[in-house]
């Protein structure tokens, strides 16, 4: 396994060139896994020619196809954006370019980020590299597969309810959802704006920390981005002293027993390092899924209203103006997105807003308060990342309720705006499984330091292709 710093050391020593690395990455793209919607080989080569110095010099990065790169199609895995080429880059893209990073391509996702399996893509499902009959997780499935199969050293995804962490768990990777506002959302196509956060999927905590140093920080183009100083997230040498970690009992219910024991192994390893554990309770956990659904659907119904095929995207020639738009939306969106737009429109309607949206907003505040209370006693929480390892392709596509089940463990961090990281806990059979750490606002460095500590004590052995 090679880290970003190790590759750069090899570049310096002349053992390999950035072009060699790019070529070997591109060779590892396995079309049968369907990780990419667009491969941007030419763009990557041009990026190398610029030879910008920086923390990501020569490092191939895969980008979820809901983050704009100027001049490269953004599809959001939706037919409704057919032919749309953004005239501007997201702030994170500009920052990666400035640090010398290069882009291997735009990765597959559930349409507009709405799903937990990367099956609901207009461009077909992505497959889990550990077992192609299983899903890679989602919605940032393509970004996870791209890194797991070695076609990119690191990737960006987006996490609205767990979309970075859940595929990281299914693909044996480190997936970070930063604090809301830590990373600029400018240029990320919105799904649930108050929940969306650009996240990172990498092979280890240090790589993820380096990427976070590059992309984090205030952006005047995103009013919700924080002015808080960017820390040295890649310096994970020593974790903080006297750390106490909470184990929220509700998070250990309704999960696979093997998942449970994997997480307990992590607990033991950390106890050996002198970290203490405490059982805590978060009674609102059972409200996370409905609350998340109402808020994210409501915001999605508003965010997706602009897609009418008139100014960009799919042009459907109807009999008149209304008909043209009706057709564009009918042909443009897959059923799950339509379902969420309809439900979201309903929960905001004057007849339902008090019962649904406003109540969800209230419960969201209760959930946040509960996390804050618990964080008075402990530094962070250790939980399973997903209730099970990756599930079979096709198992849940007709069952939206079951598809949402993994969100119970991840969406709380989105509702409360707090950071959470998923990292490999081991293997269950041939499938990887992750654990999750949930932290206080802007405590990314502490979370990554603990992941690093686990890496040193319980090294993950499941990496594919010699990675």
Partner 1 sequence: MDFKKTEYKPTIGIEVHAQLKTTTKLFCGCPVEFGGRANANVCPICLGLPGALPSLNKKAVELAIKAGLALNCEINAKSIFARKNYFYPDLPKGYQITQYRFPIASSGEILVEGKKIRIKRVHLEEESAKLIHEEDKSLVDYNRAGLPLIEIVTEPDIDSPDMAVAYLKTLQKILQFEEISGAVMARGEFRCEPNISVSKKEGELGTRTEVKNLNSFRGVKNSLLSEIERQIGILEEGGEVEQATIHYSEKTHKTWAARTKEESSDYRYFPEPDLPPLLLDTKWIEEVKSSIGELPLKKKEKFMKLGLSEEDAVIISNSVMASRLMEETLKIVDAPVEISKWILRDYRSLGEPDIPAKDFAGMIQMVIEGKISRNAGAEVFAEMVKTEKSPEEIVKEKNLSKISDSETLEQMVREVFEENPDESTRFKNGEKKLLGFFIGQVMKKTGGKADPREVSRLVSEYEKKY
Residues designated catalytic: 64, 139, 163
Q: 14: how many CB neighbours lie within 10 A of its CB? A: 7
Reference 20, options 12, 29, 11, 30; nearest CA is: 11
Comparison of 312 and 460: residue with beta carbon closer to partner 1: 312
Q: How many CA atoms lie within 13 A of 213 on its CB side?
A: 19
* Nearer to partner 1 among residue 352 and residue 405 (C-beta): 352
Min dist. Cβ of residue 88 to partner 1 (A): 5
Residue 342 C-beta: closest distance to partner 1, Å = 13
Coil, helix or strand for 61?
Answer: strand
Nearest to 388 by CA among 207, 128, 157: 128
Nearer to partner 1, 186 or 287 (CB): 186
Return d(Cα 370, Cα 363) in angstroms, integer. 10
The two three-digit tokens of residue 186, written as one number: 């400018």
Q: Give the closest residue to 61 by CA, choosing from 141, 156, 145.
A: 156
One-letter-per-residue 3-state SS of 319-347: CCHHHHHHHHHHHHCCHHHHHHHHHHHHH
Q: Which residues pair with 177 in a beta bridge?
A: 420
CB of 170 to partner 1, least distance (A): 27
**Site residues (CB under 8 A) for partner 1?**
66-68, 74, 76, 81, 84, 86-88, 90, 185-190, 192-194, 220-224, 298-299, 301-302, 304-306, 308, 310-312, 321, 345, 348-350, 353, 357
Query: Which of 19, 353 has the CB closer to partner 1?
Result: 353
114 or 205, CB closer to partner 1? 114
Q: Which is nearer to partner 1, 84 or 130 (CB)?
A: 84
Quote the least distance from Cβ 306 to partner 1, whole Å: 5
Q: At what angle do helices 357-374 and 335-348 cross, to 10 degrees?
A: 100
- Residues 321, 371: contact at Cβ < 8 Å? no
CA proximity to 307, closest of 284, 291, 294, 324: 324
Cβ 288 to partner 1 shortest distance, Å: 18
Q: Nearer Cβ to partner 1, position 50 or 311?
A: 311
Buried b (16+ CB within 10 A) or exposed e, 316-354: beeeeeeebbebbbeebbbebbeebbebbbbbbeeeeee
**Rounded to the nearest whole angstrom, what is the least distance from the CB of residue 346 to partner 1 in the complex?**
9
Beta carbon nearer to partner 1, 38 or 66 = 66
Q: How many alpha carbons lie under 13 Å from residue 29 in its C-beta half-sphere?
A: 23
- CA dist 402 to 75, 164, 179, 454, Å? 26, 19, 27, 31
Cβ 160 to partner 1 shortest distance, Å: 12
Q: DSSP class of residue 106?
A: E
Q: Please, are residues 452 and 407 in contact by the beta-carbon 8 Å criterion?
A: no
The rounded distance, in Å, linking the Cα atoms of 341 and 191 is: 11
Other beta carbons within 10 Å of 88: 14
**Length of the chain (residues):** 467
Please identify, using beta-carbon distances, which residue of 207 and 299 lies nearer to partner 1.
299
| Phi then psi dihedrals of residue 310, to 5 deg | -85, -50
E strands present in 53-95: 60-64
∠ at Cα 175 (449, 262), nearest 5°? 75
């Amino acid at each position: 396994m090679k880290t970003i710093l190790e590759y750069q050391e090899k570049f310096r020593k002349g053992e390999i060139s950035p072009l060699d690395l790019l070529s070997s990455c591109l060779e590892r793209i396995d079309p049968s896994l369907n990780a990419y919607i667009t491969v941007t080989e030419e763009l990557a080569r041009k990026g190398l020619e610029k030879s910008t110095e920086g923390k990501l010099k020569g490092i191939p990065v895969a980008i979820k196809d809901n983050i704009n790169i100027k001049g490269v199609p953004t599809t959001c895995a939706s037919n409704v954006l057919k032919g749309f080429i953004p005239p501007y880059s997201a702030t994170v893209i500009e920052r990666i370019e400035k640090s010398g990073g290069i882009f291997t391509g735009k990765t597959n996702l559930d349409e507009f980020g709405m799903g937990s399996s990367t099956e609901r893509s207009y461009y077909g499902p992505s497959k889990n590299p550990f077992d192609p009959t299983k899903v890679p997780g989602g919605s940032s499935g393509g970004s996870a597969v791209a890194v797991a199969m070695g076609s990119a050293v690191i990737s960006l995804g987006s996490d609205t309810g767990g979309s970075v962490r859940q595929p990281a768990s299914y693909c044996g990777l480190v997936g970070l959802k930063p604090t809301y506002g830590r990373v600029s959302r400018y240029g990320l196509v919105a799904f649930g704006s108050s929940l969306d956060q650009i996240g990172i999927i990498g092979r280890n905590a240090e790589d993820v920390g380096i990427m976070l140093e590059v992309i984090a920080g205030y952006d005047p183009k995103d009013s919700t981005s924080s002015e808080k100083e960017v820390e040295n997230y890649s310096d994970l040498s020593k974790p903080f002293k006297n750390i106490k970690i909470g184990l929220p009992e509700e998070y250990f219910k309704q999960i696979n027993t093997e998942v449970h024991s994997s997480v307990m192994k992590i607990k033991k390893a950390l106890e050996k390092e002198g970290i203490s554990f405490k059982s805590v309770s978060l009674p609102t956990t059972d409200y996370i899924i409905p609350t998340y659904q109402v808020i994210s659907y409501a915001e999605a119904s508003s965010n997706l209203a602009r897609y009418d095929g008139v100014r960009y995207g799919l042009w459907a020639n109807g009999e008149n103006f209304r008909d043209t738009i009706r057709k564009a939306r009918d042909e443009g969106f897959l059923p799950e997105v339509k379902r969420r737009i309809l439900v979201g429109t309903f929960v905001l309607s004057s007849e339902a807003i008090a019962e649904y949206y406003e109540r969800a907003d209230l419960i969201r505040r209760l959930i946040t308060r509960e996390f804050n209370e618990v964080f008075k006693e402990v530094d962070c929480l250790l939980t399973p990342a997903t209730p099970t390892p990756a599930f079979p392709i096709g198992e849940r596509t007709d069952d939206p309720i079951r598809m949402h089940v993994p969100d119970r463990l991840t969406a709380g961090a989105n509702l409360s705006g707090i950071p959470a990281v998923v990292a490999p806990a081991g293997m269950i059979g041939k499938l990887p499984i992750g654990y999750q750490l949930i932290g206080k606002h802007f405590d990314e460095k502490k979370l990554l330091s603990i992941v690093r500590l686990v890496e040193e004590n319980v090294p993950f052995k499941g990496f594919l292709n010699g990675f």
